[in-house]
Each structure stands twice: as structure tokens, then as C-alpha cells.
Amino acid sequence: MMDPIPPPTADDVLAAAARIAGHAHVTPVLHARTLDAAAGCSLHFKAEHLQRAGAFKFRGACNAVGSLDAQAARRGVVTHSSGNHGAALALAAASRGIGCHVVVPEGAVATKLAAIASYGAVLHRCAPTLAAREALCERLRVQTGATLVHPYIDRNVIAGQGTAALELLQTEGPLDVLVVPVGGGGLAAGTALAIAHAAPGTRLVLAEPRGADDTLRSLRAGCRVDDLAPDTVCDGLRGLLGLPNFGILHRHRSGGAPVEVIAVDDVDTIAAMRRIAVHTKQLVEPSSAIALAAVLANRSRFSGLRVGIVLSGGNVDPERLPWQS
């Protein structure tokens, strides 16, 4: 659907930080002594669930929309999304006063779809497959002339996502480890670029659902795995790792080590989501809680360290919490 893009660099993350300043929130960093004790380390939670549109995705969407020249902006933007990226792009587009089309798969979380619509985007529904999403998105791009802003393989999106880690490292550093969720890999790749610039001694660890572990398999094999059918409660992590993101992660070394990926069982993710709600009074998505779950399930690997965690989003339907029967 998209031609290969030149991968973004750390300089692009810095440019994104300047571009989105005054538009995206500088989110707080949260601490909870009870969770520190449970994990056996010092945890620093970057609260991206408190970002505009409820997720880190606004950073990348804001940077992408802000990068459009006037002529392209007039034609609007188009994307496909199961929720958070669509809402983020819709809000970024509305903030600039341009049109936005979002292709959404059947079965997407109702509260996320309501958010996309509330920001003024036009919703287009399709079958719940990546092929269907991309096909409809391409038709709309051709029909409208809108600029495609891909959820995780757009250069400006990747750079924008890296600004969350950049802020965390600037305010809480030095950190020994930074743990982020991984699905399509925009946040993971952007974080790798931010670490390379701001904290090359900080190790990068990715938390991935065991039922959607294509990143783990890809980095082990040294080539991108693209034939996996994701099966996980983490609806925001069902996208397969994007090609430019694989390249960035495959090349990344920090603290003398390559990127590490930890596969997490959904039951552990749900338990971690509940712990966050109880001990920080914050409601985050399973796709966020997976990062804490990875630490709790591997306590000895993080013992005594300063660990950053990006809580990537909080768009949860309070009537359908996953630990409720």
C-alpha cells in the first residue's frame, strides 16, 4: 500500500518534539510504592493515557498533520485504525481545520469509534482484516486526494511517537531500562531513536502479547515475520510489526545489548491492568498494562533497577473491564 520510506532518525524525533510543542501534552510521570515493591525495582510510569485523545498516538498524528504543506492539508488525511490512531488523527486534523477519513474494522471497541466520530472524522467500516483495511483506505486516498497517514509506518508518525520516551528520559533519567508495548512498532521504533540520542546506556525492552509475538519471532530470526494471525485481548497490539520499524529495532543497540522482547500472557496483562487501577487509581488499556506485566513476570531481570514504563493509552470501556465476569 505504501512505497518504502526512508527510516526516521533521532534528529526527526527532536524535530517532532519542537513541532508538537504546545499541541500535545507533556504528560506526568507516576510512581507507586506498592508497585515498586511488587516489581522489586523503581518504576517510572509515563502517563500517556492522559495525552490528548487518550493515548500516545496523538504525538505521531500531530507531527504528521503538522508536517503537511498547505496544498496537501487542504485535501485532508486518511488512515485505517482499530481506535487510538484514528481518534488521534481525527483530533489532529480537526485542530488544523482539515478533513479526515478513518477506515475501521468490524468489532472495534465502541468507545474508541465514538471518540473518532466525536472529533469529526468520517468513519468507513470494513471487514476485520488488514487486507480489507488497506484496500478501502487506498480507494479513499485515490478518490479524495487525501494524504495517507499510516498508523505505524509513516516516517512522521514514528518520529512523533518517540517524543514520549524523549520526555521521560529527560525528566527521569538516567534509567536502566525502558519498557514499552509493541504492536505495529511505531512507539517501539520511535523509542529506540529517542534512546539512541538521549540515553544510549538505557536498555530497550518490548512487551508483546504471546498470542501476537511477531516482533519476538522477527528479531530472533533476523527477518520480518508477517504470517501470524494475532490473538490477544490487547486490541491495540494486533498489528504486525512494520518493515521500517523492524529495521530500526533490528539495528538498535543500547547498554551494549540488542532490543529484548518479552512475550506476555493475556491473563498476566489483565492482572497488571487491575493492579494499576488499584494502586495508582488510573484506568489504562490492556495494551498499556502489558509493559508492567512483563516486568512483574520477570522480576529477577529488573531487580533493583530504575525502570521506565510507557503507559500507552487509557481508552477503556468502563462497562466492559476485562477482569469482570
What's the rounded Cα separation, in Å, for the pair 254 and 68? 33
Q: What is the pLDDT of residues 121-169, one digit of tens each?
A: 999 999 988 889 999 999 999 999 999 999 999 999 999 999 999 999 9
Helix (H) or strand (E) holding 293: helix 286-296
The pLDDT of residue 321: 81
The pLDDT of residue 255: 80
List 309's β-bridge partners, or say none.
45, 179
Residue 319 — very low, low, confident or very high, per pLDDT cuts 50/70/90? Answer: confident
Cα separations in angstroms, 282 against 197, 241, 272, 273, 311: 30, 28, 12, 9, 10
Q: What is the pLDDT of residues 168-194, one digit of tens each?
A: 999 998 999 999 999 999 999 999 999
Give Cα 12 distance to the centre of its chain: 17
Q: Is the pLDDT score of 1 beyond 70?
A: no
How deeply is 228 buried, as exposed, middle or buried, from its count of CB atoms within 10 A (0-12, 13-18, 19+)? Answer: middle
Q: What is the pLDDT of residues 19-60, one digit of tens each?
A: 999 999 999 999 999 999 999 999 999 999 999 999 999 999
End-to-end, the C-alpha distance of the chain in Å comes to 40
In the block, cell 521506565 appears at: 308
Helix (H) or strand (E) holding 84: helix 84-96
Taking residue 24's Cβ as centre, other Cβ atoms within 10 Å add up to 27
Q: What is the pTM of this model?
A: 0.95
SS3 per-residue string spanning the chain: CCCCCCCCCHHHHHHHHHHHECCECCCCEECCHHHHHHHCCEEEEEEHHHCHHHECHHHHHHHHHHCCCHHHHHCCEEEECCCHHHHHHHHHHHHHCCCEEEEEECCCCHHHHHHHHHCCCEEEEECCCHHHHHHHHHHHHHHHCCEECCCCCCHHHHHHHHHHHHHHHHHHCCCCEEEEECCCCHHHHHHHHHHHHHCCCCEEEEEEEHHHCHHHHHHHHCCCCCCCCCCCCCHHHCCCCCHHHHHHHHHCEECCEECEEEEECHHHHHHHHHHHHHHHCCCCCHHHHHHHHHHHCCHHHHCCCEEEEEECECCCCCCCCCCCC
Q: What is the pLDDT of residues 56-85, one digit of tens each?
A: 999 999 999 999 999 999 999 999 987 899
Is-contact 49 313, C-beta < 8 A?
A: yes
Question: CB within 8 A of 316, min separation 6: which ones?
Answer: 111, 283, 284, 285
